Structure 1
Amino acid sequence: MSGCRAEADEELGYAHETTGGPRTEAVQAAVTGHVLTFTGTALVAVYAFDADGGELRLAETVRSPGGPYALPASYPLSGRSPVADAFRSGRPLWLSPAELAEYGPSAPGPESAAGLSLGVLPLGGDGRGLGCLVVVDEAPEGIDADRRAFLELYAQHVAAGLEASGPHGRPEQRALAGSTLDRLQVGAFVLELSTGRMTADTPTLELFGIPLDDFDGQVETLLASTVPDDVPALMSIVEPGRLTPGSSQLAFRIRRPNGELRWLGLRCRVQAGADGTPERMLGVVAEASYLRPTADEVSMVQRLSAALAGATTIRDVGEAVVSALRDPLRARRVAVAELQADQLVVSILAPAEPTAWPEVWRSQWRSEFPDAPTHALPTLAETMRAGHVGLWPPGADLEPGLSGIGPGGLAVLPLPANGRIVGVCLIGWEQPHEFGPEERSLLTATAGLVGQALVRAHALDAEHELATMLQRSLLPRKLPVLPGGVAVTRYLPATMGLEVGGDWYDVIPLSDGHVALVIGDVQGHSAAAATIMGQMRTAIRAYAVEGHPPDVVVSHANRLLVDMETDLFATCAYVDLDMEEGEAWFVRAGHLQPLLRRPDGATEELTIEGGPPLGVVAEAEYPMTAIGLSSGTLVVLLTDGLVESAQLDLDDGVQQVRERLARADPSDPGRVADELLGSAARRHDDVALLLLRYDGMRVRPIRARWTVWRLPDAVMHARRFAARTLRTWGLEGELDVVLLVTSELVTNAMVHTTGEVHLNITLTADRLRIAVSDHSPRTPTKPTSVDWEATGGRGLLLVEAVSHAWGSVPLSGGKQVWSDITLSTPRDSGQSAAGGQDR
């Protein structure tokens, strides 16, 4: 080998011995020349493990004629010999001539054979050793590091070929399989990572069907022959930017110039420089026709690939793996988990019952699925570090956290992507399961598909979370506390697609005990739809707070959207509910009909006369429909994502929601909302839901109103009205504070505005509100500092000092400044008060 010695490929005249039967001298010479030239040694042999005899038996030998050495026919596994020691330890054994001589008669050759170096490489692993590959070299300095690396990779190919040559899962029946070396067409290459230059020997180029003179030393020349579906996986191993020191393996397909489809196996090792940076790659490529899948396996991979193509979340990836592998492989348990730091974040377990999994998994079952620490599963952690599929037969010696998953056999699939391990898939069998080479190939191919899908889904999940965060930031963070009712909302983003949608809702407290309920849906899923949604919600809230009636609020919003000159439109349902009287005024702009649940459990889809969607017709009319509500009634507003999809007709969806609404317990509105959402896992559209339970006010407010005429003694008359009203209501204890607030608010309106001024006094269960409205839209501003020698500027500071809360709200053509005063003795339903006044 030594840099891929292709020039010696044509040398013949060597001997090949095998238990596989006689063959012609030309075939023997060709095979012998290829094997010895590739390994760069004078002898190559395969010892296979014979379980019945407890020994390693010589199965195949390729050697140069006339060499001063010979190999024993077998080695007892219990004895001391280089072959037995390497097999028991499971690690390669490299012996210099001096070290080989210390073994005495057990060494492979007579004692007089001086100057021989020896390499013994175990074949197989995962608790199922197949035997050993023995190489004898005549170089007295021993086998150098590069040749050792190539031989270790070559041994892995020999092990795969030996495993494929015998009955599946029966190591003792492979002992006499033979003719593995001559069937194994193998080549080697060296890739310099700093320059991207590749040196490949002649067998490698022959495997790819590339003439020696046509190879330009570029990786892309080999990739051009690779089946397009397999290029991403191959690039993840050979692309310099993704490499990390260590070993990798991959089965892939190429298309030769004559159209032949050929399976190749690649095993490579990245070597790092002195600074730890990957410096070059040593690789061995072998013909692997035994990996060609059966029709059933091809179908399984195709189904999995199709399912993963449509997976947009990590949960989707896990469900696709379970669906594609669990039943076809007759497995009992399947788990898929992401690797985050030293923690396995489980995306799915099948079955999902905690009792079906070992204790280490159940101990951290915090939510739907547990997180498992890798330090509690050392075998799993080691397999993930190695990056190779791990297979353990029935009864393997594993830690309880793994042995309990697959007592009849366990497969651990590290999931590779972008040059790293991103997760793991575990497949466990309850009954004894035998692993064959085809199944190993299938699981290896599956791991590559799942790893790439997991990374893609993780990115999509992050993007979807970002879009959801954007949309939620445009919705109300919390709902107001309503007198006489409870409102709850739910919003669920679509699981299909990643763009932000335009569904919105709002609950807007209004004056005089009214509340506005709004729900809407902007056409499409895009940033533009989200922008329109935010503008519509803000506009409707502003129009509602100004005191416009429901039809005017919706008409104003419609004209605003038309003036935006956008191609998008929006549907909307608006309800103005009097929380004192239970009278609701509905306005509908192309939206779904509201639903009601009466106190007796009867549900109803209201028939609300509506207008076109917002943004379609500038002068559209939106009629109002009045509905009376009794205490205990549920009002439900929703968007079409809940009741309509490609698989669900709108009428059927509405009927399903009504049935859930009828069965729900109205005492818990939050639970009612959750039950209305149902259990649909995949949604093609966003879902917004607004639900209000109308209870009615236990203590109804009392109101009094006074029109303040612009007279020199207007403030005095306002104070007299306030005093007379409080005495009538029996609230003399609050008289001084109320008179102070009345004086300051009325004086402020008379001095700084023009037109009519109105004084409103409202008594609720525990509060007294003094409100003064005028025709100036300018909001009063509290001074930041006051010169106490000045005659003005102190009024609002006094109001703030004596009030529980105060503020200003816009009204149609003006504003209202209000102050809330807490009652020293709250009213209850047993107290009475005289009716309100209106002057």
Structure 2
Amino acid sequence: GLGCLVVVDEAPGGIDADRRGFIELYAHHVAAGVEAAGPQALTQRRAELPGLTLDRLRVGSFVLHLDSGRLTADTQVLHLFGIPGEDFDGRVETLLAVAVPDDIPALMSVLEPDLLSSGTAQLEFRIRRPNGELRWLGLRARVETAADGTPRRMLGVIAETSYLRPTADEVSLVQRLSAALAGTTTVRDVGRAVVGALRDPLGAGRLAVAEVQADQLVVAVLAPAEPAAWPEVWRAAWRSEWPEPPSHALPTLAEALREGQVSIWPEGADLEPGLAGIGPGGLAVLPLPADGRIVGVCLIGWEERHEFGPEERSLLTATAGLVGQALVRAHALDAEHELATMLQRSLLPRKLPELPGGVAVTRYLPATMGLEVGGDWYDVIPLPDGHVALVIGDVQGHSAAAATIMGQMRTAIRAYAVEGHPPDVVVAHANRLLVGMETDLFATCCYADLDMEEGEAWFVRAGHIQPLLRHPDGTTAELDVEGGPPLGVVADAEFPMTAAGLSSGTLIALVTDGLVESARLDLDDGVRRARQALARADPSDPGGVADALLGGDSRRDDDVALLLLRYDGMRVRPTRASWTVWRLPDAVMHARRFTARTLRNWGVEAELDVALLVTSELVTNALVHTRGEVRLNLTLTADRLRIAVNDPSPRTPVKPTSVDWEATGGRGLLLIEAMSQTWGSVPLSGGKQVWGEINLSSPRKEPPGGPLEGPPEGPTEGPPEEPTEGSAEEPTEGSADRPPGELPEGPRGPRRRRARR
């Protein structure tokens, strides 16, 4: 405590309840004035004080009767407002008439009966006296309630607080802090703004800004940031980047937070080590108020002896209010941004697939200005026959609706691509889908279908930025892809394809406009910068190339999505052979004979028996369950053999959940699953393809003379050749007439055309 206030009342009856209430309110003003005058006011003689503290505390009292709205004020209150006693009519509006208009809403929040609740209210406001003088007044009031809990009347005191207002330099400091806080969007930004605006002007040695969450201090920033500069209690709680000391370990701090008032301790104050070590020359604790509660705390400590002037408390109080409001706003933005980021990232692929003949990397950076979720997306879609689809897009706007459309577009394009449609059809289908969604939003998109074996690429562009290429010799180019309108604008729009050849070592960069265009950057200049970054980057490190394209951590007006692929080409070119299976009684035997002859020619011996069994089951399934042409396809890569059978039925085969041991069929798919490393089914134009893959025990190498010789690629047609009696190509007993392990076929699926051209 600062001391005590002694009041002697010689009137008969002593001090009643009303007078006690006025005295307590008056004591609060006296304490604030004495503390603001500095600790020397408690030890020096009154005559030696720079200003007579009690004389400066000109305090008047009033009573507001809430039932009638009438106000009784003493002469000191009227003098402070500059209203002659004979002109006062007992109405609150008469006092409000001289208040500065900007401060009237705050005054009304205290004096309006409908908004009152029991407790003590405190407020500083400005009035304009008849001579034009601007004066600061401080109001402290206490509401008394009736037996039923309704507000009955208000007891209040008003004192002049102009002497507590900051100087011109201090006003400038508050203005600079306010401007810095206006641009903050995260709790960390708030802490940095406070340190930048206060530490040097106040000459402070240490400064901390922390949120108060339950019984924990969640530090936003410390200056200096070195653990050695802070007391042991703080160092012991240093879990990650910043410490999180429990508030119960700092009881003086906890008490200051409960009181909610700025607390100042001079040099040599009796504090616990956790606080005394922060400010051995003086310490200020600023509870940060907002929304009627304490949301954080700011600690300012001085190494050398610091003299607290009369205006410093007012300055720190104003600072605390600004920081508290900024902290609440930033916390809300942090939570909103975290939710938006989680929503957007949940709609993007979690990881990229491993690609044969290439490496893909992606980057996504949310905007730092305007923290609503955006609609940028990307995807990498493995397709049959060594093809890969790359897609990047951007839905108009920043909102949950944009993110929702983004997720739908990404899913739709992936589905159309997996169905086997060519790039122009994929984009056209997505366009018609978006037009039919009854939304005002549109989207841009760039889609690329890459043949990883042949090095050919087909691009389609729907209102999006052109792809960027970096050739193996280091030169860059903006690929001229003929474009169509954005998705969702014209239902029957056409999207032409543009072909491009790729050499081993070529980099393909698909980007959204946030990377190359902003309010401060023209599109052409942004593309030129991106090409320069591509040219300088090391293609052996695709991740480093992506980081170089993103550039520095500057403020971004828009989200940035980047999809980068380095095309390496296949280490060993695949070898293919195919056979049209005639529907003859011994068709399975002929398919096995073709497979055996082809694999022996390719030098595949160890896996021959497994391959023949898989071939038998796949061909039998197709012959028994479908009508029409059946085609057997064999593909040999460096480390695996793929056996695939095309049939005209679009229905997906279903693996049985259980098989009766007495049944003569139903085990075909179970055998394929058991003998293959992987197997599956994909839709084809007019049917489907069921396939199984077998890993090779010894990966093959490309011979010096070129690819392995074998049956010609493409379908082999004509009458089947007779097998050699007793050869390994003969079917195993019962394989031709055994029903396959396939349950009734599922619903009709989508159609696809063959991906190879």
TM range (shorter): 0.7 to 0.9
2:504 is aligned to 630
User: For residue 157 of structure 1, what is the amino acid of its counterpart?
Assistant: H
Q: How far apart, CA to CA, are the structure 1 residues paired with 2:486 and 2:656? A: 45
2:745 is aligned to none
Q: How far apart, CA to CA, are the structure 1 residues paired with 2:103 and 2:580? A: 81
Q: How far apart, CA to CA, are the structure 2 residues paired with 1:388 and 1:777? A: 75
Q: 2:423 touches 2:459 (CA, 8 Å); kept in 1?
A: yes
Q: How far apart, CA to CA, are the structure 2 residues paired with 1:370 and 1:279? A: 48
1:547 is aligned to 420
Among residues 628, 648, 662, which one is paired with 1:755 in the alignment?
A: 628
Among residues 733, 746, 750, which one is paired with 2:619 in the alignment?
A: 746
Q: 1:248 touches 1:387 (CA, 8 Å); kept in 2?
A: no
1:156 is aligned to 28
Mapping of residues 628-707 of structure 1, within 5 Å: 628-631=502-505, 633-707=506-580
Secondary structure of the corresponding residue to residue 397 of structure 2 = coil
The Cα shift of 1:142 comes to: 8.3
Q: How far apart, CA to CA, are the structure 2 residues paired with 1:654 and 1:359? A: 53
The Cα shift of 1:709 comes to: 3.3
2:5 is aligned to 133
Q: 1:242 touches 1:419 (CA, 8 Å); kept in 2?
A: no
1:819 is aligned to 692
Q: 1:583 touches 1:629 (CA, 8 Å); kept in 2?
A: no
Q: How far apart, CA to CA, are the structure 1 residues paired with 2:63 and 2:684? A: 80
2:460 is aligned to 587
The Cα shift of 1:187 comes to: 4.5
2:494 is aligned to 620
Among residues 404, 407, 426, which one is paired with 2:299 in the alignment?
A: 426
Structure 1, residues 751-804: CA drift from partner, whole Å, max 9, x if none?
A: 333433322222334432222223332222223343444454332233223332
Q: How far apart, CA to CA, are the structure 2 residues paired with 1:488 and 1:331? A: 47
Secondary structure of the corresponding residue to residue 496 of structure 2 = coil
Q: Which runs of 5+ in 1 are unaligned?
A: 1-89, 91-121, 124-131
Whether 2:308 is the aligned partner of 1:308: answer no
The Cα shift of 1:520 comes to: 0.8
Mapping of residues 388-467 of structure 1, within 5 Å: 388-394=261-267, 396-467=269-340
Secondary structure of the corresponding residue to residue 555 of structure 1 = helix
Q: How far apart, CA to CA, are the structure 1 residues paired with 2:18 and 2:278? A: 40
Q: How far apart, CA to CA, are the structure 1 residues paired with 2:111 and 2:383? A: 64
User: For residue 383 of structure 1, what is the amino acid of its counterpart?
Assistant: A
Q: 1:789 to 1:329 in 2, by over 3 A?
A: same
1:493 is aligned to 366
Q: 1:550 to 1:260 in 2, by over 3 A?
A: same
Whether 2:216 is the aligned partner of 1:339: answer no
2:605 is aligned to 732
Q: 1:279 to 1:490 in 2, by over 3 A?
A: farther
Q: 2:427 touches 2:495 (CA, 8 Å); kept in 1?
A: no
Structure 1, residues 533-565: CA drift from partner, whole Å, max 9, x if none?
A: 222212221222122333332333334334445
Whether 2:402 is the aligned partner of 1:525: answer no
Q: How far apart, CA to CA, are the structure 2 residues paired with 1:495 and 1:294? A: 36
Q: How far apart, CA to CA, are the structure 1 residues paired with 2:90 and 2:304? A: 55
1:573 is aligned to 446
CA RMSD of aligned residues (A): 4.3
Q: How far apart, CA to CA, are the structure 1 residues paired with 2:427 and 2:498? A: 10
Mapping of residues 77-226 of structure 1, within 5 Å: 90=1, 122-123=2-3, 132-137=4-9, 151-162=23-34, 172=44, 176-177=48-49, 179-187=52-60, 202-203=73-74, 206=78, 211=88, 213-215=90-92
1:53 is aligned to none
Q: 1:810 to 1:395 in 2, by over 3 A?
A: farther
Q: 2:38 touches 2:308 (CA, 8 Å); kept in 1?
A: no
Q: 1:158 touches 1:181 (CA, 8 Å); kept in 2?
A: yes
Mapping of residues 221-236 of structure 1, within 5 Å: 228=102, 231=105
Secondary structure of the corresponding residue to residue 649 of structure 2 = coil
Q: How far apart, CA to CA, are the structure 2 residues paired with 1:644 and 1:727? A: 58
Among residues 317, 333, 342, which one is paired with 2:190 in the alignment?
A: 317
Q: 1:782 to 1:628 in 2, by over 3 A?
A: same
Secondary structure of the corresponding residue to residue 529 of structure 1 = helix
| Greater RCO (Cα-Cα under 8 Å, separation 6 or more) | 2
Most deviating of 587-596 and 234-243:
234-243
Q: 1:160 touches 1:437 (CA, 8 Å); kept in 2?
A: no
Q: How far apart, CA to CA, are the structure 2 residues paired with 1:690 and 1:269? A: 64
Whether 2:687 is the aligned partner of 1:810: answer no
Q: How far apart, CA to CA, are the structure 1 residues paired with 2:694 and 2:499? A: 36
2:748 is aligned to none
Structure 1, residues 509-529: CA drift from partner, whole Å, max 9, x if none?
A: 111222111111111122332
Q: How far apart, CA to CA, are the structure 1 residues paired with 2:579 and 2:97? A: 88
Report the identity percentage.
75
Q: 1:200 to 1:825 in 2, by over 3 A?
A: farther
Q: 1:383 to 1:227 in 2, by over 3 A?
A: farther
Q: How far apart, CA to CA, are the structure 1 residues paired with 2:193 and 2:278? A: 20
Most deviating of 281-290 and 166-175:
166-175
Q: How far apart, CA to CA, are the structure 2 residues paired with 1:627 and 1:280? A: 86
1:769 is aligned to 642
Q: 1:751 to 1:238 in 2, by over 3 A?
A: farther
Q: 1:513 to 1:154 in 2, by over 3 A?
A: same
Per the normalisation by structure 1, the TM-score is: 0.73
Secondary structure of the corresponding residue to residue 90 of structure 2 = helix
Secondary structure of the corresponding residue to residue 724 of structure 1 = helix
1:110 is aligned to none
The Cα shift of 1:685 comes to: 0.9
User: For residue 503 of structure 2, what is the amino acid of its counterpart?
Assistant: L
User: For residue 32 of structure 2, what is the amino acid of its counterpart?
Assistant: A
Q: 1:699 to 1:684 in 2, by over 3 A?
A: same
1:470 is aligned to 343
Q: 1:721 to 1:256 in 2, by over 3 A?
A: farther
Q: How far apart, CA to CA, are the structure 2 residues paired with 1:769 and 1:236? A: 81
Q: How far apart, CA to CA, are the structure 2 residues paired with 1:175 and 1:829? A: 104
User: For residue 621 of structure 2, what is the amino acid of its counterpart?
Assistant: N
Q: 1:500 touches 1:527 (CA, 8 Å); kept in 2?
A: yes
Most deviating of 680-689 and 746-755:
746-755
Q: How far apart, CA to CA, are the structure 2 residues paired with 1:509 and 1:324? A: 53
The Cα shift of 1:671 comes to: 4.3
Structure 1, residues 264-308: CA drift from partner, whole Å, max 9, x if none?
A: 32456799999xx99999764422122334444444434443443
Q: Which runs of 5+ in 2 are unaligned?
A: 717-757
Q: 1:420 to 1:619 in 2, by over 3 A?
A: closer
Q: 1:603 to 1:352 in 2, by over 3 A?
A: farther
Q: 1:303 to 1:777 in 2, by over 3 A?
A: farther
